[in-house]
């Protein structure tokens, strides 16, 4: 109760009461349904992004503790994989209800450790909740395949079966949604799970585990181990874990993709992005500029689907001053307070990196019609704030274009034609998402058909598919071949078991030995 979060009560008062959180100064792991303290000697500090007060510390789980979590998950797999699919789904029905009932608590927790505004934090919960809801009905996509009489007297049929123990490694920017992209599908498919949350926002995962316990999920089905690179390495090299889901940056994603595969695991990695919004001269100007501002500066730019590059086509080059005026109106402050548009960045080192990239933009010849580098919030001078920044006249060779900024900054590139815009975007290594703003159906269709990005918005800035589809980022934004959630999610967490059976009929030919492949008759 003495946690700084409790002392920050005034700011969180709208959704807050003193029994709301069960903060530990040092976060325990969650193994076999129990919260257990690690014997760690190294810890990661989690600080409030607005005040820098220490909220809690996440342990660097020891190798022995990690191995114990894997043994527990392997043991739980023996019985959990035998639980009928419909019964496994029922745990998800109960879980979605628990999450829905506790949206406000989860959102307050996310805001406290990640910094994003409360309404945005609710979105973080709801987008994850939708995946849990979808997991309630995965029996509809869990079927196998059958062909009767594939040869005379022979039938072939396949079942989807779980893989075993699976692992998940999550980033800081969606403390609730991304863990919920992972374990609900994995366990409803019959697997057991080890989650390593981001060491920057581990409290949200801890609360998700409390809610799992409240629905009575059997012990050991989901386990949480805290840590950084050492835990990732151990997960990649572990001999029991069959598959790893990862969401985060490219350095970590490449490591996990390569190292996990080397250790014979199935891998899906969702990675970094540079998403372009193409503004055509015939678009609904007001709507398009509003969409750009929302999608570039929402969550302080810390979204993998943020529109971080505006591609101004033809005469829309003259719209930059109007765009800047809209950005200037955004209100900065503590995300736990009402009416805030742009909160501080999640952690201090990220602020340093954002400033490095903004400085590089100036040094390399771009201009800043709105420069937030020196912004200090008068009420929270310690906060990780960077003022919203518009970087104009950006060229593809510049560092600020090549690297993901992941902060409140919008790069503006000018091109003459739609064709030029498409070429610019297709030349970018990333392929998470893109959007076009136009009133022309044929321009939209031409764009959709010729663009290499694999999630496309038409007059809509952040085209994240709902869970009846899959999150289909492409190019260097994704590694693997089975995407997150939807049908692909079920495929990722299952394998086929295919049976070919022959039942002799009375009139079948007699008995003989044949060493050649049988021919169809």
Nearer to ligand NAD, 162 or 479 (CB): 479
How far is the C-alpha of 87 from the C-alpha of 94, rounded, in Å? 11
How far is the C-alpha of 267 from the C-alpha of 492, rounded, in Å? 8
The yes or no reply on residue 113 touching ligand NAD (CB under 6 A) is no
Burial label for 98, CB within 10 Å (0-12, 13-18, 19+), is middle
CB 258, min distance to ligand NAD, A:
11
The yes or no reply on residue 115 touching ligand NAD (CB under 6 A) is no
> Which amino acids are annotated catalytic?
304
- Judge contact between 89 and 188, C-beta under 8 A: yes
Residue entry with tokens 């590059």: 309
Residues 209-238 interacting with ligand NAD (rule: CB under 6 A): 228-229, 232
The yes or no reply on residue 465 touching ligand NAD (CB under 6 A) is no
Residues 26-65 interacting with ligand NAD (rule: CB under 6 A): none
The yes or no reply on residue 271 touching ligand NAD (CB under 6 A) is yes
CB 72, min distance to ligand NAD, A:
21
Q: Which residue is nearest to ligand NAD (CB)?
A: 248
How far is the C-alpha of 284 from the C-alpha of 381, rounded, in Å? 39
330: left (phi over 0), alpha (psi -120 to 50) or beta: beta
Partners of 169 in the β-ladder: 196, 246
Nearest to 399 by CA among 369, 425, 423, 365: 365
- φ, ψ for residue 303 (rounded to 5)? -125, 140
Nearer to ligand NAD, 33 or 227 (CB): 227
The yes or no reply on residue 171 touching ligand NAD (CB under 6 A) is yes
Cα-based distances in Å from 242 to 257, 296, 386: 13, 37, 41
The yes or no reply on residue 198 touching ligand NAD (CB under 6 A) is yes
Which stretch, 53-61, 290-298, 447-455, 470-478, contacts ligand NAD (CB under 6 A)? Answer: 470-478
Which stretch, 124-132, 247-255, 489-497, 503-511, contacts ligand NAD (CB under 6 A)? Answer: 247-255
Alpha helices in 201-249 (DSSP H): 202-214, 229-237
Residues 318-337 interacting with ligand NAD (rule: CB under 6 A): none
The yes or no reply on residue 496 touching ligand NAD (CB under 6 A) is no
- Judge contact between 292 and 279, C-beta under 8 A: yes
CB 128, min distance to ligand NAD, A:
12
Nearer to ligand NAD, 202 or 333 (CB): 202
CB 413, min distance to ligand NAD, A:
19
Burial label for 339, CB within 10 Å (0-12, 13-18, 19+), is exposed
The yes or no reply on residue 249 touching ligand NAD (CB under 6 A) is yes
How far is the C-alpha of 185 from the C-alpha of 182, rounded, in Å? 6
CB 249, min distance to ligand NAD, A:
3
Cα-based distances in Å from 460 to 1, 90, 287, 417: 43, 35, 9, 20
* Binding residue (CB under 6 A) for ligand NAD from 76, 404, 428, 493: 404
CB 43, min distance to ligand NAD, A:
14
- Judge contact between 456 and 475, C-beta under 8 A: no
Nearer to ligand NAD, 376 or 460 (CB): 460
The CB-side HSE value for 455 (13 A sphere, CA atoms) comes to: 29
* Binding residue (CB under 6 A) for ligand NAD from 251, 328, 352, 445: 251
The yes or no reply on residue 380 touching ligand NAD (CB under 6 A) is no
* Binding residue (CB under 6 A) for ligand NAD from 172, 185, 257, 319: 172
How many residues at the interface with ligand NAD, by CB under 6 A?
A: 29
Cα-trace Rg, the chain? 25
The yes or no reply on residue 199 touching ligand NAD (CB under 6 A) is yes
Nearer to ligand NAD, 158 or 259 (CB): 259
The yes or no reply on residue 137 touching ligand NAD (CB under 6 A) is no
- Using DSSP bridges, classify how beta strands 266-270 and 478-479 pair: parallel, antiparallel or unpaired: antiparallel
CB 177, min distance to ligand NAD, A:
9
The yes or no reply on residue 307 touching ligand NAD (CB under 6 A) is no
The yes or no reply on residue 173 touching ligand NAD (CB under 6 A) is yes
SS3 491: helix
Interface residues with ligand NAD (CB under 6 A) are 169-174, 196, 198-199, 228-229, 232, 247-249, 251-252, 255, 270-273, 304, 404, 406, 432, 471, 473, 477
């Amino acid at each position: 109760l003495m946690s700084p979060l409790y002392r920050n009560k005034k700011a969180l008062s709208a959704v807050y009461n003193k029994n709301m959180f069960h903060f530990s100064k040092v976060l325990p792991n969650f193994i076999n349904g129990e919260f257990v303290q690690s014997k760690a000697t190294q810890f990661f500090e989690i600080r409030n992004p607005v005040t820098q007060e220490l909220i809690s510390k996440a342990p660097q789980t020891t190798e022995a503790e990690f191995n114990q979590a894997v043994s527990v998950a392997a043991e739980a797999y023996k019985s959990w994989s035998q639980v009928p699919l419909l019964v496994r789904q029922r745990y998800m029905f109960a879980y979605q209800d628990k999450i829905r009932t506790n949206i406000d608590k989860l959102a307050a927790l996310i805001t406290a450790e990640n910094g994003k505004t409360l309404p945005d934090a609710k979105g973080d919960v709801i987008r994850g909740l939708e995946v849990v809801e979808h997991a309630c009905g995965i029996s509809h996509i869990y079927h196998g395949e059958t062909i009767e009489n594939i040869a005379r007297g022979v039938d072939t049929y396949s079942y989807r079966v779980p893989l075993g123990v699976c692992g998940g490694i999550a980033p800081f920017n969606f403390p609730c949604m991304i863990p919920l992209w992972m374990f609900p599908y994995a366990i409803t498919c019959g697997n057991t799970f080890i989650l390593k949350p981001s060491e920057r926002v581990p409290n949200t995962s801890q609360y998700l585990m409390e809610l799992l316990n409240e629905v009575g999920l059997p012990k050991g089905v989901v386990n949480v181990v805290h840590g950084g690179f050492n835990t990732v390495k151990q997960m990649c090299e572990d001999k029991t874990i069959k598959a790893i889901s990862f969401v985060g940056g490219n350095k970590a994603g490449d490591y996990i993709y390569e190292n996990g595969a080397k250790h014979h695991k199935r891998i899906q990695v969702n990675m970094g992005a540079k998403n372009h919004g193409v503004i055509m001269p015939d678009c609904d100007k007001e709507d398009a500029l509003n969409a750009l501002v929302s999608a570039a500066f929402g969550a302080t730019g810390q979204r993998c689907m943020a529109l971080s590059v505006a591609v101004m086509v033809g005469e829309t080059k003259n719209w930059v001053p109007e765009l800047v005026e809209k950005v200037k109106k955004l209100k900065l402050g503590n995300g736990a307070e009402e009416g805030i548009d742009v909160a501080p960045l999640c952690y201090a080192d990220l602020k340093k990196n954002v400033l490095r990239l903004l400085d590089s933009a100036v040094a390399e010849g771009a201009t800043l019609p709105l420069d937030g580098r020196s912004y200090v919030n008068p009420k929270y001078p310690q906060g990780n704030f960077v003022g919203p920044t518009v970087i104009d006249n950006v060229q593809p060779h510049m560092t600020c274009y090549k690297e993901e900024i992941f902060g409140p900054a919008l790069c503006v590139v000018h091109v003459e034609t739609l064709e030029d815009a498409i070429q610019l975007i297709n030349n970018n290594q990333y392929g998470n998402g893109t959007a076009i703003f136009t009133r022309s159906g044929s321009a939209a269709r031409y764009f959709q058909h010729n663009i290499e990005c694999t999630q496309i918005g038409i007059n809509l800035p952040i085209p994240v598919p709902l869970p009846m589809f899959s999150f289909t980022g492409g190019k260097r934004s994704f590694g693997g071949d089975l995407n997150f959630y939807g049908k692909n999610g079920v495929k990722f967490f299952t394998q086929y078991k295919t049976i070919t059976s022959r039942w002799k009929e009375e009139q079948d030919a007699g008995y003989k030995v044949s060493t050649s492949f049988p021919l169809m008759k």
